[in-house]
Structure formats: C-alpha cells, structure tokens
Amino acid sequence: MTETQRPVNTSIAVLGTLADFHRQPIPYNLGALMALVRRIQPDLLCLDLTPEQWRDQAFADLPPEYREALLPLARQSDIVVIPIAGDCPPPEPNATGWRAGVLRWAMAGLAIRYRSAPDPTSANRGWRHDLANGLYEVIGRLAGSGLREDWRNHIAHLTQQVLVTARRDPGSRILVAVNVRCCHHIRHALRDQPDLRVVDFSEL
C-alpha cells in the first residue's frame, strides 16, 4: 500500500468537565484536569466557546475549567484550540418557585457524586456518570421545553463542528473537552461515523 493509499486514522476522545464543581474539594479538580490534558497532549483541543470569544480573547464569562486551566495550558504548549460553539450558546438552566428547590436538590446530588469520584475516569463513565446524566435530565425538565430544545441544538452544533474539524485535519489526535452533561451525547454521535476512531481519553 502506498503512502497515498494508506488510510488516515483520526482519533477523537471526549472528556467531560465539571464547571464550578472543579473548584470544590474533589479529586477531579482543576489541577487534576490540567495534569490529565498535559499528559494527553492532543494535537487539537475542541472547546465549547464561540469563535468570537476566541478571536477577542474574551474569556471572563467562560467556566473555570477553560479560563483557569485549559486555555492557560494551551498557551504554554503546542496544543491548538478549536472553538466549536455557535453564536448564541444557551444559558444555564434556571427555575423559580418549587422548581428552584428541586433544582438545588439535583445540584446537591451532582456535588455528592463528583466528590465521591476518585478520578476523571469515574466522573466520565460508570454508575456515577449514569446517575449524573439522570440528574441533568431532571434539571433540563425543570428549565422547560424551550431551553431543553436549545441545549439539544447546541449539542448538535458542537458535534457537527467536531466532525468538521476532524475532516479538515485528518490524522490528528483530537480531544473534545465539554461539560459532562454534553459528553455522552457527542461521544455517541461520533461513534456513528465510520471514518473516525472514538477512544477513551486515556487511550488518545
């Protein structure tokens, strides 16, 4: 087989991040996140920020895992950041009245699960991850159907931009670092693509 005939292998891993939970006293904190991505050293790092935020370096409203960990790490290394968010990412779910109490309960449940996760792998798969997905579903329902639809469209856009990136740079090692509520949806959609190799982040 000649060089031009050899199939190009593009590997992608999706890593779920925890937003403000990373600041809590949990094993998967900002330091652990930075150490993990430094060890992986991907060629491309897809992040849920808009092209305008990246162009203008407007990072003040980004979650701490981006602002305080992944973006500084990329600046110190050869990792290339790829912004994959659309123009108007949806807001965080919010609720009033009795729904606000249930929302607080769900967030407390997430905190308990992440505090008990001994490492990033435990937060990204297994029973803790499955229970967290259920709590995120509850949170989405509390916020109403309109916001749930906005989040579905947002996740679809993130997935499409990852595919565009992978096909623009075949052969790259790509790490997609997005909020853990999105990662299993993106991972599942990418696995349906025959030209991509979706791996665990520990295997990238």
Residue-wise pLDDT for 49-96, tens only, equals 999 999 999 999 899 999 999 999 999 999 999 999 988 778 777 777
- Confidence category of residue 7, pLDDT binned at 50, 70, 90: low
Q: What is the mean pLDDT of the chain?
A: 88
Condensed to tens digits (0 to 9), the pLDDT of residues 28-55 reads: 889 999 999 999 999 999 999 999 999 9
What element of type H or E holds 3?
Answer: none
Q: Which of 7-11, 42-46, 154-158, 188-192 has the lowest mean pLDDT?
A: 7-11
pTM score: 0.90
pLDDT band at 166 (very low <50, low <70, confident <90, very high): very high
Which segment of 11-20, 21-30, 76-85 scores lowest on mean pLDDT?
21-30
| Rounded distance between C-alpha atoms, residue 30 and residue 154, angstroms | 25
Checking if the pLDDT of 3 tops 70, the result is no
Are residues 42 and 175 in contact, defined by beta-carbon separation less than 8 angstroms?
yes
Could you give the CA distance from residue 28 to residue 71 in angstroms, rounded to a whole number? 17
Question: pLDDT tens for residues 130-148?
Answer: 888 888 888 888 877 777 8
CA distance 58 to 54: 7
Which DSSP helix (H) or strand (E) runs through 28?
none
Starting at the earlier edge strand, list the strands of the sheet with 196-198: 80-83, 44-47, 173-179, 10-17, 196-198
Label residue 161 by pLDDT band (50, 70, 90): very high
Q: Which of 57-71, 88-102, 111-125, 178-192 has the lowest mean pLDDT?
A: 88-102
DSSP secondary structure of 107-126: HHHHHHHHHH--SHHHHHSS
Cα 87 to Cα 59, 154, 158: the distances in Å are 15, 10, 11
Whether the per-residue pLDDT at 113 is higher than 70: the answer is: yes
